[in-house]
Amino acid sequence: MMLRKTTFLLLPISVIGLIAFTWPLYLPESKLIFLRGENAKWLATFILPLAILAFVLEINFGSLDSKSVALLGVFAALICALRLLGAGAIGIEPIWFLLILIGRVFGPTFGFTLGITAIFISGLITGGFGPWLAFQMMAAGWIAMMAGFIPRKISGNKELLILCIYAAVATQAFGILMDLQLWPWLIGADSQISFVASDSVVANLHKFFIFHFATSLAWDIPRAIFTIALIVLTAKPILISLKRAEFKLGVKATAREKRQMAV
């Protein structure tokens, strides 16, 4: 079972992903045509799905079994349903809290896989394909993955507090990442707040944060508040359900229990 199993490629493709997100900040002037300014965004858009594909190949031929396949499929459908229903009813997507909680219980690898699967499925279903899809997949994967690194031992109110802090940080990070990705596409290379290839990281960051400022107010802060609220309200029962599920899916009886049996 994929529970808490780490994979070899998770780190390298995360690094590639990070570069694919943040290249506008430090892209150097280049003679190569596909690294020049605007064209780099196409390059990033092609490289990211390949990185994700590499990860999928690794887990497909390594960690996946009937339990993880069934759980991933069902959870991905659940998150997709939340997205559809939420967008329809209230205009916001109540999915981040669930990704965080599932990642926390089932571990980084499972969480990352769930993130990319859920976003891919909802893109497939709603037709919302665009250059952003692979980036959204990776970012969602990261949100679930990082939650998986919270130590298992922590529980009770301390757990809840850490989850809330994490939610605040993660949703902000998501906003920043998606804006970084969108920046070259929406603004292009010829605006006063566009990235400039040869500029310093600081100068580019400055321009970026001006771009990001507006969207942050409109989307990131409500998203953070909404997610934290949902975690506060639902963490307890959901964590109980998820931990029960983990228990029910366990296979091997411990040695102690085997000895009890023989008595």
CA-to-CA dists, residue 175 to 23, 135, 180, angstroms: 16, 12, 8
- The number of beta carbons lying within 10 Å of the beta carbon of residue 236 is 13
Of residues 41-80, which lie at the interface with other proteins (CB under 8 A)? 56-57, 59-60, 64-67, 69-78, 80
Closest distance between other proteins and the C-beta of residue 1, in Å? 10
CB of 47 to other proteins, least distance (A): 17
Task: Please name the amino acid found at residue 22.
Answer: T
The answer to the question of residue 249 lying near other proteins (CB under 8 A) is yes
33 is an interface residue for other proteins by CB under 8 A: no
Q: Does 222 bind other proteins (CB under 8 A)?
A: no
Under the binding rule (CB under 8 A), the answer on residue 206 touching other proteins is yes
State which residue, 18 or 60, has the beta carbon closest to other proteins.
60
**Residue listed under structure tokens 């497909």:** 60
State the burial class of residue 205 (Cβ atoms within 10 Å of its Cβ: 0-12, 13-18, 19+). middle
| Binding residue for other proteins, selected from 15, 50, 125, 165, defined by CB under 8 A | 125
Q: What are 62's two structure tokens? A: 């390594």
Q: Among residues 16, 62, 23, which one has the least CA distance to residue 184?
A: 23
Rounded to whole angstroms, the Cα distance separating 220 from 97 reads 14
- The pair of structure tokens assigned to 90 is 């209230």
* Residue choice 127, 151, 157, 202 for contact with other proteins (CB under 8 A): 127
Of 114, 172, 122, 138, which is closest to residue 44 (Cα–Cα)?
A: 138
Is 16 a binding residue for other proteins by CB under 8 A? The answer is no
Least separation in angstroms between residue 210's CB and other proteins is 6
Among 31, 192, 202, 255, indicate the residue that binds other proteins (CB under 8 A).
192
Which of the stretches 3-11, 115-123, 141-149, 164-172 binds other proteins when contact is defined by CB under 8 A?
115-123
Q: For other proteins, which stretch binds (CB under 8 A), given 29-37, 83-91, 104-112, 150-158?
A: 83-91
CA angle 25, 31, 34 (to 5 degrees): 65
Complex with other proteins: residue 187 or 221, whichever CB lies closer: 187
Verify binding: residue 129, other proteins, rule CB under 8 A: yes
| Candidate ranges 22-30, 138-146, 165-173, 252-260; the one touching other proteins (CB under 8 A) | 252-260
Tell me: does residue 253 bind other proteins (CB under 8 A): yes
Three-state DSSP state, 1: coil
117/8 Cα distance (integer angstroms): 19
